[in-house]
Amino acid sequence: MSTAPFTPPRTAADITVWAPTAASVTLLIGGDVGQDEIEVGLVPLSTSPGWWGAAPGSAAASATNSAPARYRFRIDGRDPVPDPRAVRLPDGVHGAAELHRLDEFGWTDHDWAGLDLRGAVLYELHIGTFTPAGTFDSAIEQLPHLVALGVDAVEVMPVNAFNGTHGWGYDGVAWYAVHEPYGGPDGFARFVDACHALGLAVVLDVVYNHLGPSGNYLPEFGPYLTSGTNSWGSSLNLSEPDSDAVRAYIVGNALRWLRDFHVDGLRLDAVHALIDHRALHLLEELAIATDALAAELGRPLTLIAESDLNDPRLIMPREVGGYGLGAQWDDDIHHAIHATVSGERQGYYADFGGLDGLAKVLTGGFFHDGTYSSFRRRRHGRPIPTEIVDADALVAYTCNHDQVGNRAVGDRPSAYLDGGQLAIKAALVLLSPFTPMLFMGEEWAADTPFAFFTSHPEPELGEAVRTGRRSEFAEHGWDAVDVPDPQDPATYERSKLDWSEPTDAGHARMLQFYRDVIALRKSTDDLIRGDFGSVRCTFDADAGWFAMLRGSWAVICLLRADEVPVPIGLDPVLWWDEVTPMAGGILSGGPNVVIGRLTDVDQVR
């Protein structure tokens, strides 16, 4: 398998396009304000079947050499549309593409050696709501906060171009372009460069399982999509006729972020929605290409999958039949911790909440590993072969954009849990053997929500989203009037972080706890180990306490308000509320978490 690297055209003469079913392709060059477009008929390229370009040495080719910077295509005489590989769309996803190259001399990260993301502390953020301005440049100003927190890598929600001014980014339609309101491609390059200057790696969230409902012109050019659908729309053509070019379109896009934008890893959205019947799955093809690029660049590159399949093949080595991805998100860990601490049991939390289930995910990774899922009404998942897969191949979190934003009102755990409960969740995630990830603002128990918000310019599309969102939650007992209108700009504005909060006494206490726990993780060999064999669990469900043991350390969680003795000898180092030492154990009320060195390791073997 080989995929030629994508190279953005320097002049209009370099522009080519894949349109295998077209009878004619016309390049419209110009299109700047006050200028007329020049029409240039393209010809099929004999060296690349299905591709069109200007005939070498023709008058058309020479005409494009002096053309203005913007261009569009007309396929078979239809209305002009932008380039599927447009690298900049200054007027939005319906406008003309612009010739653009990143300034190679603008980078200052020449000494950046990269970072192995497994075991690193990740921090997920949304550019539009991370700061009041919602731009790459304003996000750069807050990066020192992440460094002081102890974060190793920033995971950025999708930044590829979508229609409208603001949204989560998963409705992208121009995968090679960067959303202009955030700052466009140059702004993203500045952001990555600034992260590297502060020692922060960058992970970019990318969506290859569907395209958004507005501005998707790919079907104009060729069979990019299939008749099959997933939860969000038409599926990408990954294994049907003419799918080679579609796969190359995806792989080329992934490598562009990693190579041209110096990104350190990609989070692959909802890979369970990729319909691929080939022997070489797209995910494995992506992993092979990424590993090859890492070897070429001399720095680590990591692919992180989001999947609800509980299928360990994603992260198993290719030598034993796996896809060889670096890591995957693990919702089972979130569900087990959240249900245990919060007491919520609705929807997919129904099977979670027991302390035995919490112990199972902390020591084995998956709760559903072939067990019956009442939410799915079938058996689900398969066990992780812990002898060949390390625990740090799983990404764990107390919350993320989905687990907050897909609640009816977008309420964070800080809206309904107290400080002790939040501290329990943080300690279990940050001191587990997994790769921990925070969601922006959780470190100070932010009061601001993170709701689902959109800005579809088409009234009918906006109304469909609004109605669908409210109907969905009405089925689960919510009053429609309580569900925020995704199209209301106020829903977006309320979702922005309030950077005055971290200095407030209550928020500052939580922030300091997060800093201390992260620092303890990084300075303690037992707590930074990423293998399954490094964690043990013990608990007393009747008394309401749970302990995660890491070598000579213990994370003891008091889940109830009652003061109870915990028969584990401990020298406390960190805690949410102080505890009373007692012979062979501690005495504490809850909710509380206590972290310390075991006085007798053999006591809890």
Query: Binding site for substrate: which residues?
Result: 267-272, 331-335, 401-406
What's the residue count for the chain?
Answer: 605
Candidates 37, 180, 193, 306; catalytic one: 306
Catalytic (active site) residue 447:
no
* Sign of CA pseudo-dihedral 593, 594, 595, 601: negative
Beta strand pairing call for 38-41 and 43-44? unpaired
d(CA 173, CA 213): 8
d(CA 181, CA 456): 14
Known binding residues are 267-272, 331-335, 401-406
Across the strands, what pairs with 201? 153
What secondary structure letter does DSSP report for 55? P
Please name the residues in contact with 57: beta carbons below 8 A apart, sequence gap of 6 or more: none
Please name the residues in contact with 573: beta carbons below 8 A apart, sequence gap of 6 or more: 520, 595, 596, 597
Please name the residues in contact with 110: beta carbons below 8 A apart, sequence gap of 6 or more: none
Distances (CA, A) of 532 to 24, 321, 523, 526, 595: 58, 21, 20, 12, 20
Q: Are 305 and 314 in contact (CB under 8 A)?
A: yes
Q: What are phi and psi of 501, to 5 degrees?
A: -65, -40
Residue 45 token pair? 């390229």
Adjacency order of strands within the sheet including 570-575: 536-540, 545-550, 553-558, 592-598, 570-575
Distances (CA, A) of 474 to 347, 373, 375, 478: 14, 24, 18, 5
Catalytic (active site) residue 104:
no
Place of tokens 């919602």: 134
Neighbour count for residue 21 (Cβ, 10 Å): 11
Candidates 205, 260, 264, 269; catalytic one: 269
**Coil/strand/helix, residue 568:** coil
d(CA 311, CA 329): 11
Distances (CA, A) of 212 to 9, 162, 455: 25, 7, 12
Positions marked active-site: 269, 306
